[in-house]
Each structure stands twice: as structure tokens, then as C-alpha cells.
Chain A
Amino acid sequence: MDLFEFQGKELFKRHGIPVPRGIIAQTPESARAATEILGGSSVVKVQVQIGGRGKGGGVVLADSPDDAEAAAERMLAEGFGGRRVTRVLVEERLAIAQEFYAAILLDRATGTDLAMVAAEGGVDIEELARTKPEALRRLHIDPEIGIHPYHLRGLTGALPPEARDLVENILAGLYDVLTREDATLVEVNPLVLLQDGRVFALDAKVTIDDNALFRQPELEMFKSVHPIDPVEFRAREAGLQYVKLDGQVGIIGNGAGLVMSTLDLVQQAGAGAANFLDVGGGASADSIATSLEVVLSDPNVRSVLVNIFGGITRCDLVAEGLLEALERIAPAVRIVVRLDGTNADEGRRILEDARHPVIVPVQTMLEAAKRAAELAEGAAA
């Protein structure tokens, strides 16, 4: 789970990392009020989880409460980079002397955490490593050892001496966020040295390990402000693994691997998948019905491909579930069904006997993908 900037900064504050004074605004009026509280000028920052906010007009220096209100109004109305915007962060203006970069992330290849500090902020780190390696310090931190002062001294060695002590404290705080909040990435770009000598985290990018959320109930709450696609929300409620894609063939399969290969085959057949959906093991009539509803709620879907390989799942139950689901919902598109594995013959017989007008039974996966692609194309034309 990627956190919004204001959420990341909340975690930073808890771990002693200095961040600018800021107020979250959900309306233009509260952006104005926030700017008044902050002394009449502010920085208005759009809260979206994509980069390039600075260049794309997502960060506005407001010289007056009027400016802030106008900026917030535009951001909330227009969204940013195609995303809906529900919040802006209104922060105090700071007098910046110099910008740096700091990050700690889980490095899966080495099984350690990788810490990086650059003497230049707002830059592409890969690019900096190539063109100006002396400005970048990288260090692997063995989790069994943890972070120690010698690591911190090594990391801050490329920074101006007057900033080093403060950045060392911030790095220790970032490591705390990483380990105690179960983050896999903490990044500050830029980290700034102010003209008065203080050092602040001006931005915050934090990724939390989803698999650790069960032991981070407080972070789970951060989730609630994330704008979730209503269809994805429905699928999540039903315990289905659903990811929306941008093609026209709706996919239902059991097992992530089978679904992935189904996506590939549909692609190979010249069409695009509208989604990834894994109904999981032991698919019941209910879960098939919900899956169909979820897939069909996407208006782009022109045909559906149900691809089931029965292991524990019994194909006859899937077939019955499918027919039961079709009694509840009347889809406007055809459904190609391929069943194989446990009780496949019974499953196929059930579908054939039913002679349901929307069901197109096929034998093999490849055939199913081709058929679904044809139907999608025919329906679109």
C-alpha cells in the first residue's frame, strides 16, 4: 500500500522526523483558512500517488489565502494526471538553502535494506549514480545488525558538514519507520537544508508491506481514505482477487497462475483482457455469481471467458454455479466456458444439457481464448 504524502508525513512526525507545518484541506475554503493560519502564504500540494507533481502544476506556491483557495479549487475540480483528487495539503513556506535526497528500501536481491543519500535533491537517482557518483552514498543495512552510527556517518559523508548531524537523525528516524511500521520503502525527495540551518523532509513517499497490515491496525485505517474503484471494492468484499485492466474480454479463472496464462492467451488471440479475476479454490455458485457480477459491471466487457481447472474445485459444481448465477443476472454478452480437471465431463454435460443461450462451451484453453476474442470483436463491431 502506497501512502499519500500527508499520511507518510504523519508517520515521519511520530518517528521524530521534522516536516513542515501542514493542514489537510478538502475544500477550497479550508485551503484559504489553512493559509491564513500558516501566516498568509503557503504551498498547496495535490494529494495523489503519482510523481511529477511539481512539473505538472500539482504544487503551487500561494502568496495569499486567495491564491491558495484558487489553487485548491482547480486541483479538486480537475484532478491530477487522470486521478480524482479529494484532498490537498497546505503547508508553511520555508526558506530553502539546499536540497538532498534520502531513501531506505527493502532490497530483495541482497536480503538487506538499502539506504541511499544524495547531495542533490529532485533528481533521478539512477542518472546521478552514472553522472555524479561522488554525490551519492549507498549502503546495505543488514537487518540482523540494524542501523548504527557508522552507517549514518558513511551515508551523510557527501553532504555539507553543517547538515550531517541533522540528516543522521533523520536517517535513524527513517529506519525506524521502515522497521517499526513495516514499510518496504521510505523516500524523501527532497530533503532540505533551510537557510536557518534546520533540515526538513519536504516530501514523503512510504510504501507499507500489505502482508504486515494485520499487525498494523493503525495503518489499516490509512486505507480508508484511498479512493477505491467501486468494482474492486465489491470484489474485495467477496474475497475475490480482482484487478481491472483495459481490454474487452472479461476473465474468470481459478488460481492466479491459470488466470495469468489466460490473460496471455487472450492477448495472443488478438484481444485484450478486461480484468484479472481469481475466484480461488473450491469455487461455489455464490462466488461464481459474484465474480460474474463483478466482471460484467465493467462497461467495456464485450465477452467473458470462464477458465476453470478443477483440482479441489469440482467442475460440475462450477457448471451448476454458473447456471444458478445466470438465473440471477442476465448478461448482455456471451460467456465462453472451458472446464477441465475433476468432474470435467459432468460439468460439460450439465452445460450442454442446459443449452443456455449465453454460454459457449469449448474444450481447450486456446480455443476458448480465440472464441472469446472473436465474440468481443463481433460485439464491438
Chain B
Amino acid sequence: MAGKHRIVIAKPGLDGHDRGAKIVARALRDAGFEVIYTGLHQTPEQIVETTIQEDADAVGLSLHSGAHMTLFPRVVKGLHEHGATEVVVFGGGIIPKDDIPKLEAEGVERIFTPGASTQDIVTWLSERLSVARGA
């Protein structure tokens, strides 16, 4: 399927809680996206590398350790350094409300916290990517 959007789901940092990432990966797959899951314990550089190698349209970062203010912006920065400015970066996990506007300012477009439904994520991403593709 040529029109399929490709999404990287990534686990930056050292926490091992991947149930959420896996559920999102499956939900996106079921919604017709092509999903690449990085596995645990990725550095921001590895995630940037994977996203570029896989020619992904978006990358979703899942993090529960509290290191989001450090690691999420480094992924955005890395993508920009490699000229991959069109890749949509979003995230999820245990992220305090106060940090969300700061992350958005750093280029993480949307944060989904506990309680977000998979349908919300699918809907947002579909709309965001169809806009990006100029559909």
C-alpha cells in the first residue's frame, strides 16, 4: 500500500514500561498505519536514526521515567539537524501537566497522558498527517 503512513513508536531512556507503547503500536497498526517499534532503552540518537532510515512520517515517544524534558527535545533537535523537519513528533506517558506546554514549545506537537483513548491518538495522528500530506 503506497499511501500507508509509517510511524515509529520509540522508548527513549531507561524505563522498561512498554505496555503503553505496545498498545499504541497495535492500535495504530489496526488503524492501517505501518508501525515500527524500536524496543526498549533507545537513545535519542538511535531514535532519530531509525526514523530517518525507515523514512517515517511521524515518531511517537513513550516515557515514564521523568526524563522527558531532556530526551524528547533531543529527538526533535536530532531530526532537525538531519533535515527531517517534516517528521511529526508526539509523545505520551507520565508527563506532568505543567511540562506539556514546554514540550510543545520544543516541537513535540502533542502529548497523550494516561486516560487518552487509542481512538483519540489515531484520530489526531490521521488528521495531522493528512494535513501534512496536503490532502
Q: Which of A132-176 contact B (CB under 8 A)?
A: 142, 144-146, 148-150
Q: Which of B19-53 contact A (CB under 8 A)?
A: 19, 22, 25-26, 29, 34-37
Q: Which A residues touch B37, using CB under 8 A?
A: 142, 145, 148
Least distance between B15 CB and chain A CB atoms (Å)? 17
* Dominant SS among interface residues on chain A: loop
Q: Does B54 contact A (CB under 8 A)?
A: yes
Closest-by-CB residue of A relative to B23 is A144
A-B contact pairs, 17 of them (CB 8 A): A142-B37, A144-B19, A144-B26, A145-B22, A145-B25, A145-B26, A145-B37, A146-B26, A146-B29, A148-B34, A148-B35, A148-B36, A148-B37, A149-B34, A150-B34, A150-B36, A150-B54
* Docked-complex contact A144 and B22, CB < 8 angstroms: yes
Q: Which A residues touch B26, using CB under 8 A?
A: 144-146
- Can you name 16 extra interface pairs (CB under 8 A) apart from A142-B37, A144-B22, A145-B25? A142-B22, A144-B19, A144-B26, A145-B22, A145-B26, A145-B37, A146-B26, A146-B29, A148-B29, A148-B34, A148-B35, A148-B36, A149-B34, A150-B34, A150-B36, A150-B54
Give the docked Cα–Cα distance between A142 and B25 (Å): 12
- What bracket does the count of chain A residues touching chain B fall in? under 10
Q: Contact mask A257-268 → B, CB, 8 Å, 1/0? A: 000000000000
Least distance between A210 CB and chain B CB atoms (Å)? 28
Give the docked Cα–Cα distance between A149 and B22 (Å): 16
Q: Which B residues touch A150, using CB under 8 A?
A: 34, 36, 54
Closest-by-CB residue of A relative to B4 is A149
Least distance between A73 CB and chain B CB atoms (Å)? 51
Closest-by-CB residue of B relative to A140 is B39
Nearest 9 A/B pairs, CB to CB = A150-B36, A144-B22, A145-B37, A149-B34, A145-B22, A148-B35, A145-B25, A150-B54, A148-B29
Q: Which of A219-275 contact B (CB under 8 A)?
A: none
Give the docked Cα–Cα distance between A364 and B25 (Å): 60
Give the docked Cα–Cα distance between A115 and B26 (Å): 19
Give the docked Cα–Cα distance between A148 and B38 (Å): 12
Closest-by-CB residue of A relative to B22 is A144
Q: Which B residues touch A149, using CB under 8 A?
A: 34
Q: Which B residues touch A144, using CB under 8 A?
A: 19, 22, 26
Closest-by-CB residue of A relative to B54 is A150
Task: Report which residue of A142, A144, A145 has the largest number of chain B beta carbons within 10 angstroms of its beta carbon.
Answer: A145
Closest-by-CB residue of B relative to A148 is B35
Give the docked Cα–Cα distance between A142 and B26 (Å): 12
Least distance between A147 CB and chain B CB atoms (Å)? 10
Q: Which B residues touch A142, using CB under 8 A?
A: 22, 37
Give the docked Cα–Cα distance between A149 and B29 (Å): 10
Q: Which A residues touch B34, using CB under 8 A?
A: 148-150
Q: Which A residues touch B22, using CB under 8 A?
A: 142, 144-145
Least distance between A115 CB and chain B CB atoms (Å)? 15
Least distance between B76 CB and chain A CB atoms (Å)? 22
Least distance between A203 CB and chain B CB atoms (Å)? 31
Least distance between B54 CB and chain A CB atoms (Å)? 7
Least distance between A295 CB and chain B CB atoms (Å)? 50
Give the docked Cα–Cα distance between A56 and B35 (Å): 46
